[in-house]
RNA sequence: GGCCCGAUAGCUCAGUGGUAGAGCCGCGGACUUUUAAUCCGUGGGUCCUGGGUUCGAUCCCCAGUCGGGCCA
């Protein structure tokens, strides 16, 4: 690889070389910054009254990226941007130390990172500004930044050069601040509710806990195939067997599947488990958590997403999957337990599926087709067919339905939770049913995890659990319709 | 996997079967309180890649690459 510089880069490179030739290091080791932009502005607001229109008697040093440059020959205005905001600086030929003004106009470009020492004052137009006595180059930018008012807008370039996207598009920085505040609020909620945050394996000898294709890798010394986790569920429940009553983990999961605006191969999941609890307890906690997190991040429980106003205020609606599908499509899947029969019903309702589509998958498709797009306000869809949920416990007295829920809002699935299956023999049979489904052509099934069944044989208390798509919730709270907009470096073909 | 859309200067975008356009940007100049500073002059291109049609293709056709959207 060679570094080919375009015309503008060559000119900046030339300035860099000239600075060095003049004895000025364009990438010095350290900065002498005394104030962030925000601190400088706050300082001036504080002392302004006593100044009676004159300059701050003390000199301070600010630093940042040159965002604007208004060169008027004997005076120059510029805005420096740091991680806390912006501050305007003002250079006046008479006010400068000897030689500095020449250096500035000749060698400073937009995008350079510089620091400036001087005194604060308020300009005629009312902006708090640093009048510069001396400035220093901190890092010469060889590549010019994007246009100043459109920023970088080409989405491909924005994702591939996220650093440029971030420094030139303030609203993008805000999206990721929102995401981080959201995760902090989730942690605060769980920590306060006495959950133990834990770490379980990313590299797993057997994948499980979800229906998805895994990434496969190989450990040379162990001489064994390992999988990147598609979920951490089975490990967290082993910890419940181990005696922890409330555990959670926020981690990356990996699924070797399609990429679209709701899916990325690498995404962030929250899972938590509560011993001596069932899915009712969990739902109550989930709605409380999301309400609190939204309030913490947005200052209100209402958000705008995809043209809808969604209010996360508790309590959320509960709606059984069977009722929801029946209401929207007229199909009662419990009356059509036969695969071909349900397939025909689906076709009648306008949903064409391959003839070998497994029965549980047809139910899932009916939900996605008829129910999900209609769910605007936060809703728990509850009580799923057992075939869709091999790790969930049956409802008392029911052979067909498990205690499972999915929270949805604005047509998006936010997560998945259930009363955990703790009968080792039932669990073993469910795993076997998965194998049978795989043999029948379903390519999204779980392998048998005997070690997990053995863990259950030591006894797991009644437990409720939940998994939340962190990226999905971040999308909603940041008002972004694509998951790529809430992942700093989304997967891209190279 | 199928269909549709896009790719032109560092950035944001126009445009055309016959020497490639604007604004920002850069460079040179004027300007000592500007806010997308202003004014004068000027520079910058593998028009995504490879084939084809044509006297001539950035443009039309075919294939591909990357990105986006819709569908499965």
- Tokens encoding A486: 């809430």
Q: Distance from residue A19 (CA) to nucleotide B28 (C1'), in Å?
A: 21
Report field, pTM of the whole predicted structure over 0.95: no
Per-residue pLDDT tens for A198-223? 999 999 999 999 988 999 999 999 99
Q: What is the pLDDT of residues A41-70, one digit of tens each?
A: 999 999 999 988 889 999 999 999 999 999
Average pLDDT, chain A: 93
Q: What is the mean pLDDT of residues A277-287?
A: 97
Residues A121-158 pLDDT 10s: 999 999 999 999 999 999 999 999 999 888 999 999 99
Residue A68 makes CB contacts below 8 A (sequence gap 6+) with A77, A78, A79, A110, A148
Residues (8-37, chain A) with CB within 7 Å of strand B atoms: 8, 11, 15
**From the alpha carbon of A94, which nucleotide's C1' atom is closest?**
B32
Distance between CA atoms of residues A207 and A230, nearest Å: 6
**Chain B nucleotides covered by protein, CB below 7 Å:** 1, 6, 9-13, 23-27, 30-38, 43-44, 65-72
Show Cβ contacts of residue A189 under 8 Å, excluding neighbours closer than 6 positions: A288, A289, A292, A293
Distance A243 CA to B10 C1' (A): 60
Q: Is the CB of A125 under 7 A from strand B?
A: yes
For residue A196, the model assigns a pLDDT of 98
In chain A, the percentage of residues whose pLDDT exceeds 90 is 79
pLDDT confidence bin for A357, thresholds 50/70/90: confident
Please, where in chain A does CATH 2.40.50.140 lie? 7-145
How does pLDDT run across A220-256, given as a tens digit for each residue?
Answer: 999 999 999 999 999 999 999 999 999 999 999 999 9
Superfamily for the A168-316+377-485 domain: Bira Bifunctional Protein; Domain 2 (3.30.930.10)
* CATH 3.30.930.10 boundaries in chain A: 168-316+377-485
Query: Which residue matches tokens 């499509």?
Result: A329
| Cβ of A265 near strand B (distance < 7 A) | no
pLDDT at A115 over 60: yes
For residues A425-434, give the mean pLDDT: 94
ipTM: 0.92
Residue nearest to nucleotide B1 (CA to C1'): A258
Does strand B come within 7 Å of the CB of A4?
A: no
DSSP string of A235-296, one letter each residue: HHHHHHHTT-SEEEEEEEEE--S--BTTB-SEEEEEEEEEET--HHHHHHHHHHHHHHHHHH
- What is the pLDDT confidence band of residue A299, given thresholds at 50, 70 and 90? very high
Q: Which residues in window 450-489 of A are less than 7 A from strand B by Cβ?
A: 482, 484
CATH number of A7-145: 2.40.50.140
Residue A474 has pLDDT above 60, yes or no: yes
Q: What are the φ/ψ torsions at residue A250 (nearest 5 degrees)? A: -115, 115
Q: At what angle do helices A359-366 and A339-348 cross, to 10 degrees?
A: 20
CB of residue A156 closer than 7 A to nucleic acid strand B? Answer: yes
Q: Which residues fall within 8 angstroms of residue A307, CB to CB, at 6 or more apart?
A: none
Rounded mean pLDDT of A103-131? 94
Q: Is the pLDDT of residue A14 over 80?
A: yes
Read off the pLDDT of each residue in A289-302 and give the average, rounded to a whole number: 97
The answer to whether strand B lies under 7 Å from the CB of residue A492 is: yes
Burial-class residue A263 by CB neighbours within 10 Å (0-12, 13-18, 19+).
Answer: middle
Say which nucleotide is closest to residue A493, CA to C1' distance. Answer: B66
């Amino acid at each position: 690889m060679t570094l080919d510089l375009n015309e503008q880069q060559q000119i900046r490179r030339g300035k860099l070389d000239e600075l060095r030739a003049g004895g000025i290091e364009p990438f010095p080791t350290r900065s002498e910054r005394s104030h962030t932009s925000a601190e400088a502005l706050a300082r001036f607001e504080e002392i302004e009254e006593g100044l009676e229109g004159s300059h701050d008697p003390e000199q301070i040093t600010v630093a940042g990226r040159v965002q604007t440059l208004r060169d008027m020959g004997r005076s120059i205005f510029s805005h420096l941007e740091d991680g806390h905001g912006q501050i305007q600086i003002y250079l006046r030929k008479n006010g400068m130390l000897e030689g500095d003004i020449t250096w500035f106009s000749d060698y400073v470009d937009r995008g350079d990172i510089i620091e400036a020492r001087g005194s604060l004052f308020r300009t005629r137009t009312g902006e708090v500004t640093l009048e510069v006595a001396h400035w220093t180059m901190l890092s010469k930018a060889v590549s010019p930044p994007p246009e100043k008012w459109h920023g970088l807008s080409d989405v491909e370039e924005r994702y591939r050069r996220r650093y440029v996207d971030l420094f030139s598009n303030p609203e993008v920085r805000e999206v990721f601040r929102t995401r981080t505040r959201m995760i902090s609020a989730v942690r605060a909620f769980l920590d306060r509710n006495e959950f133990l945050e834990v770490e379980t394996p990313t590299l797993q000898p057997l994948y499980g806990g979800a229906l998805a294709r895994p990434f496969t890798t190989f450990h040379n010394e162990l001489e064994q195939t390992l999988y990147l986790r598609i979920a951490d569920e089975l490990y967290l429940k082993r910890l419940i067997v181990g005696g922890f009553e409330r555990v959670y983990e926020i981690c990356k999961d990996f699924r070797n599947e399609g990429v679209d605006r709701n899916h990325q191969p690498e995404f962030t999941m929250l899972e938590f488990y509560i011993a001596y609890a069932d899915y009712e307890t969990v739902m109550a906690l989930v709605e409380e958590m999301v309400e609190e997190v939204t309030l913490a991040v947005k200052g209100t429980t209402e958000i705008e997403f995809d043209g809808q106003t969604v209010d996360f205020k508790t309590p959320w609606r509960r709606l059984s999957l069977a009722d929801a599908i029946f209401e929207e499509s007229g199909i009662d899947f419990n009356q059509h337990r036969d695969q071909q029969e349900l397939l025909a019903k689906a076709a009648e309702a306008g949903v064409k599926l391959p003839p070998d589509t497994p029965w549980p998958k047809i139910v899932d498709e009916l939900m996605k087709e008829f129910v999900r797009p209609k769910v605007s306000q936060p809703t728990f869809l509850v009580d799923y067919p057992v075939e869709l949920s091999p790790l969930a416990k049956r409802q008392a007295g029911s052979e067909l339905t498990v205690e499972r829920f999915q929270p949805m809002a604005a047509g998006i699935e936010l997560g998945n939770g259930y009363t955990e299956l703790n009968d080792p023999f039932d669990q073993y049979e469910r795993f076997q049913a998965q194998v049978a489904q795989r043999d029948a052509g379903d390519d999204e099934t779980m392998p048998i995890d005997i070690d997990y069944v053995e863990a259950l044989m030591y006894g797991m208390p009644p437990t409720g659990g939940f998994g939340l798509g962190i990226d999905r919730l971040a999308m909603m709270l940041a008002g972004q319709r694509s998951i790529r907009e809430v992942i700093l470096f989304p997967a891209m073909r190279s």
